[in-house]
Structure 1
């Protein structure tokens, strides 16, 4: 999953601030937010007559309808989000257990915490928040999900409903902690309103250093069994996806161009590690 970062407010020590992501509430009603006027593409809301998924009926009835092909792919998407809302408390509690384990026992996370502290920041359970992150389905058929995010004002967000296991959370946390280190070290322009190359560089580094692009994860989780250039291709692809999520990025062509512009210097920069650790 690709991490998305909110706009930078140029607060140099904000990585130590208390995270305040909006807490979602469960419920049967399917709701999505329409984008601002002129934004493309449009976000799809569930229509039971069109999708076959009816949030007013029991979950097992909808699940059986999915198994028998009576629900469209769009309906299955909305069903998944509906179940995430119902299981929000359970998912967040599990996420917090895994988060606490990583903060206490993960060598990668412990190392990054020390390096962040060296720059005057602090990341711990107080500003690493587990929350449900609603996904969006747009009219072009694309689903938009994320497993985490970093805010200079609030800290790290881990999307409890998207985390598969403890190792996945460790990768996600390490990714966002690289962003935190980069922000404290270089004051990254996250929104890209000044220069998208900042965002491209930190995304390259975060994907490279977090472990999310290691061969075993690509092969066994994403089904990518390529033996040559697999690591580089994964880092490049995830960096392009993250740059495309920036509001100032016009399209995938611009995202690829920006990533290519900074690739050589940023892919070779393993700070604060001596080398790619995972």
Structure 2
């Protein structure tokens, strides 16, 4: 399972219905279309029912679960861009799951690798997004962003530290 702990966007909340509408809009964005097309080319096409809006107990934005699809936490979404970002990030996990031989989400190193890829390729660690989170350091923001995703992997807190 590749849930996205990280910082759940804002403190706002959408209903499941509102989030479903936002997911449908997200599926038309260039980034999401590109990712879905490449999943299709890789033999791992995803239909619209692959994406689900749900209410989440944990403070997470969403997650990818092998065999179930992508869940977007409606109660942690504020704006359309939040939904777009979650879907792009989770589609990268879906791609990794499709393409990586022997990927084991329970293996902290495997999961961390996918988090780094998803953080960078989805734009989660882009300088603009970091500024919006209040992180204004000019250098090193990508490393800090990647580390924050990795540190949030459930059960991997100690095994991913240097020397562990």
Alignment coverage as a number of residue pairs: 156
Aligned to 2:77: 163
Q: For the residues of structure 1 that align with 2:162 and 2:22, how far apart are their CA atoms?
A: 37
Please give the TM-score of this superposition, normalised by the length of structure 1.
Answer: 0.52
Residue 3 of structure 1 corresponds to 4
Partner of 2:127: 215
Aligned twin of 2:142: 231
1:102 to 26, 45, 53: 26
Partners of 2:18 and 2:160 in 1: how far apart?
A: 35
Q: Structure 1 residues 253 and 191 mapped into 2: Cα distance closer, same or farther (>3 Å)?
A: closer
**Paired residues for 1:18-167 under 5 Å:** 91-104=15-28, 106-135=29-58, 145-167=59-81
Give the SS at the match of 2:150: helix
| Residues 89 and 118 in structure 2, CA contact (< 8 A), matched pair in contact too | yes
CA distance in 2, matches of 1:130, 1:124: 15
Alignment-derived partner of residue 256 in structure 1: 161
User: Which of the pair has the greater relative contact order for Cα pairs under 8 Å at 6+ separation?
Assistant: 2
Aligned residue in 2 for 1:201: 113
| 5+ long unaligned stretches in structure 2 | 6-10
Counterpart CA distance in 2 for 1:233 and 1:107 is 27
Aligned match of 2:8: none
Larger radius of gyration: 1
Q: Which of residues 85, 94, 104 in structure 2 aligns to 1:189? A: 104
| Structure-1 separation of matches of 2:77 and 2:120 | 19
Q: Quote the offset at 1:257 in angstroms.
A: 3.0
| 2:124 match: secondary structure | coil
TM-score using structure 2 length = 0.85
Give the match's secondary structure for 2:162: helix
CA contact (8 A) 1:103 1:124 kept: no
Q: Secondary structure at the match of 2:160?
A: helix
